[in-house]
Amino acid sequence: MQYWQRRSDLRWSHRAFNVSAYYGLKNPPFKHDALEPYMSQRTIEIHWGEHHWGYVEGLNRQLEKNDTLYGHTLDELIKVTYNNGNPLPEFNNAAQVWNHDFFWESMQQGGGNMPILGLLQQIEKDFGSFTNFREKFIEAALSLFGSGWVWLVCKSFVE
Ligand SMILES: [Fe+2]
């Protein structure tokens, strides 16, 4: 058992007579070698067991010192600590925890499926074809410095 797996069970801490909520390290919903050859087991273990774990630990350490932020969901905590564009010290760790959670939930062995129905129609409307969208999406990822982690966001379907 790795050290970060044991630490992931620490969701609650009892200090004095208070019970304080802490954020836990979510496990990726797949085996660590499931994304090979596109993402190696070593890469998963670095991003999950080191980066993600570090952001969770850092956030929990910060929250130990600021109990006014207890009781929020992670989404709420990000909004609160964003502080109308003047981020509090907890914002970066909270946002990175969310970003890593979202990343793991977005990946699956064998890749994603072809979009269907309204999403496919919107992609075809906005990009001309799914093939053209795919080319632009890959181009965006390859031209992004660092991780190449890009998203397609659909705010609403437009007629
Ligand atoms: Fe990472």
Residue-wise pLDDT for 116-147, tens only, equals: 999 999 999 999 999 999 999 999 999 988 77
To the question of whether residue 47 is assigned a binding role by annotation, the answer is yes
- This prediction has a pTM of 0.76
Alpha carbon of 155 to ligand 1 centroid (Å): 26
Length of the chain: 159
Say how many CA atoms lie within 13 Å of 108 toward its Cβ: 6
Query: What's the 152 CA to ligand 1 centre distance in angstroms?
Result: 19
For residue 17, the CA-to-ligand 1 centroid distance in Å is 36
* pLDDT for residue 145: 82
Ligand 1 centroid–CA 51 distance in Å is 5
Mean pLDDT (whole number) for 3-17: 38
Provide the residues around ligand 1 (an ion) whose CB is within 5 A: 47, 51
What pLDDT shows up at residue 10?
A: 40
51 assigned binding-site residue = no
Give me ligand 1 centre to Cα 49, in Å.
Answer: 9
Average pLDDT over residues 82-89: 96
What average pLDDT does the chain have?
Answer: 85
Per-residue model confidence (pLDDT) at position 96: 95
pLDDT at 71 over 90: no
Q: Which of 138, 81, 74 is nearest to 100 (CA)?
A: 74
pLDDT of residue 1: 32
> How does 123-137 read in b/e, with b if 16+ C-beta sit within 10 Å?
beeebeeeeebeeeb
pLDDT of residue 8 exceeding 50, the answer is no
